[in-house]
Amino acid sequence: MSGFNRMTVVAAAEVVADFKSHDDMGVFEVQWGIQGRCASSSKSARVADWARIAIEEDFDVMTENGRAPLSRAIVEAAILAPQKSQRSDAWKKLIAGLRFDGYERVDMAKDEAWANWPTLGEGAIVRPHLVRMLPDDIPGLDFREAESEVFALLDRHDLRVAMGHLKQALSAFERGEWSSANGELRNFFENYLNEMADSMGCAASGDGKAKRDFLGKLQPPFLLEEYNEWNPNNQKPQYVQGLMSRMHPHGGHPGLSEEDDATFRLQITLVTARLFLRRFDNRKND
């Protein structure tokens, strides 16, 4: 199974096709041992075959950085794209997909000796590399896994409004529309808490703050005061309200957001949702 999500692999193949010729792509196929298995009638057909083989088989191939899965080889070829190709929709999808897979594209000195200097010397060779954003051996940090579990729990408990906002947030994130993604993530965070409160007996007319207070005052409480998730004293630290404020830094319409900020919001929203939805699922099953 590919170490990258489908969108990332397809977008990477599209980016390579954008700046490489058919002959160049044929050379890659020989290097990777997939010659004769890919259509050459059009680039779109070739892209589809590259992505299909990488997603379904993902065997190790030879790259300039050593042996690596085919999916990574395609991604590593794609991140070398020139500036012109970095303005394409495929590039936006690639970067968004990599972020969701837990990777960043960063420029690093090819000669490691330069990396010890505060600034790169003139003539230093700098190339893009893939770098993991977070450690890969800590449970609970796989955001694709979090997404799958969150959707499963939303579906199990029929939290349809929240699910709709999450789907729209992920679609916007994949398109590189950071502001739209942020807005939908705010709506998702608020709505799944509201829907859970309603399911546990909260008056439907209450606003979001009232519903979060209900979850904190419920017996036994759903939002835990001892974990600083909620507190009856609004002056005390509260994780849920603090995250709500972080998601609304300038009210309901924060405008355009940096890519890093949008990625942070997506990641923390998924991890938080998984925690609360698991807790909700356990309570419903008791």
Q: What is the pLDDT of residues 258-285, one digit of tens each?
A: 777 888 898 899 989 999 999 999 998 8
Q: Is residue 73 part of a domain?
A: yes
Residues 195 and 254 in one domain: yes
Residues 111 and 174 in one domain: no
Q: Is residue 56 helix, strand or coil? A: helix
Residues 116 and 191 in one domain: no
Instruction: Give how many domains the chain has, as a whole number.
Output: 2
Predicted pLDDT of residue 282: 93
Q: Is residue 75 part of a domain?
A: yes
Contact 248, 125 (CB under 8 A): no
Residues 124 and 170 in one domain: no
Last residue of a domain, one of 112, 132, 152: 132
Residues 147 and 276 in one domain: yes
Predicted pLDDT of residue 126: 65
Structural domain boundaries, residue 227: 143-285
Last residue of a domain, one of 97, 132, 167: 132
Q: What is the DSSP string of 116-185?
A: GSSSPPTT--EEEEEEESS-SSSTT--HHHHHHHHHHHHHHTT-HHHHHHHHHHHHHHHTT-HHHHHHHH
Q: What is the pTM of this model?
A: 0.69
Q: Is residue 200 part of a domain?
A: yes
Residues 98 and 170 in one domain: no
Q: Is residue 138 part of a domain?
A: no
Q: Is residue 24 part of a domain?
A: yes
Q: Is residue 19 part of a domain?
A: yes
Distance CA 243, CA 152 (A): 23
Kindly tell me the sign of the dihedral angle through the C-alpha atoms of 254, 257, 261, 266.
positive
Query: Per residue in 20-76, pLDDT tens?
Result: 999 999 999 999 999 999 998 999 999 999 999 999 999 999 988 889 999 999 999
Last residue of a domain, one of 111, 132, 153: 132
Residues 244 and 177 in one domain: yes
Q: Which residues of the chain have pLDDT under 70?
A: 1-2, 108-126, 134-142, 144, 204, 250-257
Q: Is residue 1 part of a domain?
A: no
Q: Is residue 85 helix, strand or coil? A: helix
Residues 155 and 276 in one domain: yes
Q: Is residue 137 part of a domain?
A: no
Residues 278 and 152 in one domain: yes
Rounded to 5 degrees, φ, ψ at 105 are: -100, 120
Residues 106 and 44 in one domain: yes
φ/ψ region of 144 (left if φ > 0, alpha if ψ in -120 to 50, else beta) reads: alpha
Residues 85 and 118 in one domain: yes
Residues 115 and 34 in one domain: yes
Pull the structure tokens for residue 113.
Answer: 């000796």
Q: How far is CA 137 from CA 45, 147, 264, in A?
A: 37, 18, 19
